[in-house]
Amino acid sequence: MNTKIFSAMCLALCLLAASLTAAAQAKKKPEISTATKLVITKLKVGEGDAYEVRGKATFTVTAANSDDSVAGTLSYTIPDDVRQKVAELTHKPVASIPATVTSKDVVATFQKATACPVVHLEFQPMDVDLAGVKDHFNRFVLDINETQQELAQLFCVWTRQINNGRARRGVIARMNVVLSGEDDKAPFDVPAETPKKPD
């Protein structure tokens, strides 16, 4: 009799643990990404030779930094003709050349005086590895469009605070809390006009 009760209790605990794990996995972290945009890069073919790539880039923000920059993941989708060119250069099958190259921990800064409804993020020149071939990005800009989503609204507040020379520690902290996906509190609310701190 005690064995049956113990087995039933163990089964119930296992089912509870499984349902809690499933619920935690189902809760997706909030995300904010730039609009997809054409970005022209240069594929370094050989000594001095470069092949122009017309791919599409998007950037997903993963962290807000106290130096008024954001970190995130850059995804660059490459057309099939470029994949074929890379396959020729590297002597690899086209199927082994990725259609999208992803770079983590990329940092972007706000373009000077940018503001909603379209926030412009600037990226410094960089190289990404495309199956052993370097693909070079010159400086480029991607845009975050204003929406009613909390993260988009936080970008609007952040740029407004920068442009008005006001403190932004609170908005940056709130953005990181929301991005972490561990927040159950009410959305951050900043008054349109925050009093400026005396110097």
Going by their DSSP bridges, the two strands 126-130 and 50-65 should be labelled as unpaired
Cα four-point dihedral sign 170, 103, 149, 108: positive
Question: What DSSP element (H or E) covers 101?
Answer: strand 100-110
Q: What is the mean pLDDT of residues 92-109?
A: 94
Is the pLDDT at 192 greater than 60, yes or no? no
Q: Which sequence spans correspond to the domains of the chain? A: 37-145
- Non-local (6+) Cβ contacts of 61 within 8 A are 31, 32, 33, 70, 71, 72, 144, 151, 179
Q: Quick check: 195 pLDDT over 60? A: no
Between 85 and 21, name the one with better pLDDT: 85
Picking from 61-75, 159-173, 174-188, which range would have the lowest pLDDT averaged per residue? 174-188
Statement: residue 89 has pLDDT above 70: yes
Share of residues in the chain with pLDDT > 70 (%): 76
pLDDT tens across 40-87, in order?
Answer: 999 887 776 788 889 999 999 999 999 999 999 999 999 999 899 888
Question: Which tokens hold the place of 20?
Answer: 């809690």
| Pairing state between β 118-123 and 140-145 | antiparallel
